[in-house]
């Protein structure tokens, strides 16, 4: 459903939320290495997130990235919107251009329900909420896999 750029952006934002602070930035190379994301590709994604005011970028010896606002004020949908846009929540599951409620494809209703579920999940999940889930030990991220979720 989401592009590779969007997946990488979500992973990077979550990593930054866990590892940055008001006085501590996270370096591009650290994110790229720990998340196994090509550095040049990640750089473009992070600059897009800076442009969309989700991240702050700093240069110099203490440079890197940090969130532009509190993690409880950044939902996953903000990241998706910045990278892929929200049109993906209106597209046909099969790829027809004319698929809608009046002229549905064979999977229209089921796919529409799935899209709405994912939309609401991403709208209601914040970076802060995800970090809280990790601290509770409720998922794979608590086993060190936040450093490399592909493990």
Residue-wise pLDDT tens digits, 73-99 = 999 999 999 999 999 999 999 999 999
Alpha carbon distance 150, 143 (integer Å): 12
Alpha carbon distance 26, 56 (integer Å): 10
Is the pLDDT score of 140 beyond 70?
no
Q: What is the pLDDT of residues 110-132, one digit of tens each?
A: 999 999 999 999 999 999 988 77
**What value does the mean pLDDT of the chain take?**
88
- Enter the pTM of the model: 0.85
CATH topology of domain 4-143: Arc Repressor Mutant, subunit A (1.10.10)
> In this predicted structure, what is the pLDDT of residue 52?
98
Residue for token pair 């936040």: 146
> In this predicted structure, what is the pLDDT of residue 147?
43
> In this predicted structure, what is the pLDDT of residue 39?
96
Pairing of strands 64-67, 55-58: antiparallel
């Amino acid at each position: 459903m989401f592009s590779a750029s969007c997946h990488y952006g979500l992973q990077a934002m979550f990593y930054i939320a866990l590892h940055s602070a008001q006085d501590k930035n996270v370096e591009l190379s650290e994110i790229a290495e720990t998340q196994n994301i090509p550095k040049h590709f990640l750089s473009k994604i992070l600059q897009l997130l800076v442009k969309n005011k989700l991240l702050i970028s700093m240069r110099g010896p203490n440079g890197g990235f940090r969130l532009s606002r509190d993690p409880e004020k950044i939902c996953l949908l903000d990241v998706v919107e910045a990278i892929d846009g929200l049109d993906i929540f209106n597209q046909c599951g099969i790829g027809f251009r004319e698929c809608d409620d009046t002229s549905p494809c064979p999977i229209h209703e089921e796919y529409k329900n799935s899209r709405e579920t994912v939309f609401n999940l991403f709208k209601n999940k914040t970076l802060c909420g995800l970090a809280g889930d990790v601290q509770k030990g409720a998922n794979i991220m608590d086993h060190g896999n936040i450093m490399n979720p592909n493990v």
